[in-house]
Amino acid sequence: MAYFYDDAARTFNEYLLVPGYSSSECVPSAVDLTTPLVRYRPADSLPSLTLNIPLVSAIMQAVSDDGMAIALAREGGMSFIYGSQPIEDEATMIARVKDYKAGFVLSDSNLSPDDTVATVMELKERSGHSTMPVTHDGSPHGRLLGIVTSRDYRPTRTPVETLVRDIMTPRHKLFVAPAQTTLSEANDIIWDKKLNALPVVDDQDRLMYVVFRKDYDSHKLNPLENLDDHKRYRVGAGINTHDYAERVGPLLAAGADVLCIDSSEGFTEWMQKTIKWIKDNYGPEVKVGAGNIVDRDGFRFLADAGADFVKVGIGGGSICITREQKGIGRGQATSVIEVADERNRYLAETGIYVPICSDGGIVYDHHMTLALAMGADFMMLGRYFARFDESPTSKVNINGNFMKEYWAEGSARARNWQRYQASASASASYLAFEEGVDSYVPYAGALKDNVALTLAKIRSTMCNCGALTITDFQKLAKITLISSTSIVEGGAHDVLLKDQTTSVTTSFRL
């Protein structure tokens, strides 16, 4: 007969943290939220990829494009660009992220001396860039002849037919740096010479890169930026278990730092074959996350298959109806607790630490803190990030309230057939049934402001438990189950809230 679990599958809302002793050194500003992203041997080395904050954005059309990836990496996290799109489009998004913050930036707004001011204005409107190198052939690596900036012309006064050669700052008046210049040296030149941009050229005076002052200033304002060895933003890429042989190569060539197999259920032979093919063809240096699973058997399967991190959670997302449609899934808190326990067993047996990602079930900020305390190394979030300016969806007015569109990858709108069809030959327009909905979420403003508030709550809670790192938090945390009446007691109750009545006068005139 079927196997029956003894205990109920529980959610984050059924638990609370119990405060522990906090020393005078345990203050939020001292909390370090760095966490491993991929497998490593703690006794021998550090992880090759880490996050500076334990947040990644979901592999979803409505959440993770290049705009989200840039904004989240700036704060210390990472996005996984959605894979339910043509390969070339996903690769282009990844390349945009890698080119956006490179320290040494490959210029994508270039002019030739025979272009006109009309071309300059069109290019600025299209790219948003006001600094444009002028090369002999208008290419990114042509011989440098000058630079045009917004100070070199006035849109309302300079005739649009004026040639670029007549308005540009010529080469002999520019400060440039040789190819062997380091980023630190380039920033020193920018600072000493009071420049906004510094072209980097080779020994034949061909343009290689441009270093911008704004990138230096940005890093100073965002010290937790998640950067690779070349000072570029890190970005992940979603793949599937069907076209990986065609998709992986272009994504890696575009600069993807890590891959993640996006599937509704990860305890499958398809998942195992996909991981093996990637490792066999690209080597262990290419990192691949896998999932989703909800128990110790699923974790062990994926860890043995070579997954570099494992995603935990089925049916707990705000727009996921897998449990409703198929009766498959498990309470997210119970899943994380059991998988974390198996992760620790795996470490004791093999010496290898495989990080786990809690995916789904987050309703409030304190649920993130509980997920970390229960053993998650980081969280993958969809609804949370879909609310922000940086998500790729439209902001709409619904009954006087601003909302953002948000739909599931298992919905008819996404038409992500590769996640759910047994055969890659199935028609892309065919979806037997939905496992997600098309919806709206309340608009919440800028990512930076919201993430800062969330992290402040996490740091403060960790201090309440006497922990300054996530590892210590997981060792020191004391967690208790709560009753339904405890949940009621934990919120505002037995009072009339001021923002729920219009009859209370809050200001008076003398």
Which one from 26, 232, 260, 320 is the annotated catalytic residue?
320
Exposure string (b/e) for 172-201, b if CB count within 10 Å is 16 or more? eebeebeeebeeeebbeebeeeebebbbbb
Tell me the C-alpha distance between 367 and 13, whole Å.
Answer: 7
Say how many C-beta atoms besides its own lie within 10 A of residue 45's C-beta: 8
Q: Say which residue the tokens 């040789």 belong to.
A: 178
Q: What are phi and psi of 123, to 5 degrees?
A: -65, -40
Helix axes 296-305, 269-282, angle to 10 degrees: 30
CB 181 within 8 A of CB 200: yes
Say how many C-beta atoms besides its own lie within 10 A of residue 371's C-beta: 28
Reference 261, options 284, 293, 234; nearest CA is 293
CB 370 within 8 A of CB 390: no
Give strand pairing partners of 56. Answer: 78, 380
Two structure tokens written together for 142:
């042509």
Catalytic, 343? Answer: no
CB 29 within 8 A of CB 351: no
CB 343 within 8 A of CB 354: yes
Catalytic, 151? Answer: no
CB 422 within 8 A of CB 444: no
Tell me the C-alpha distance between 343 and 378, whole Å.
Answer: 14
User: How distant, in Å, are the alpha carbons of 38, 164, 299, 351 from that of 302?
Assistant: 13, 58, 5, 16
Two structure tokens written together for 298:
């699923």
Two structure tokens written together for 218:
């940005």
Reference 379, options 53, 46, 135, 13; nearest CA is 53
Cβ-Cβ contacts under 8 Å for 151 (sequence gap 6 or more) = none
Which one from 330, 419, 463, 465 is the annotated catalytic residue?
419
Reference 170, options 133, 195, 207, 196; nearest CA is 133
Element (H, E) at 479: strand 478-481
Tell me the C-alpha distance between 322 and 70, whole Å.
Answer: 31
Residues recognised as catalytic: 320, 419
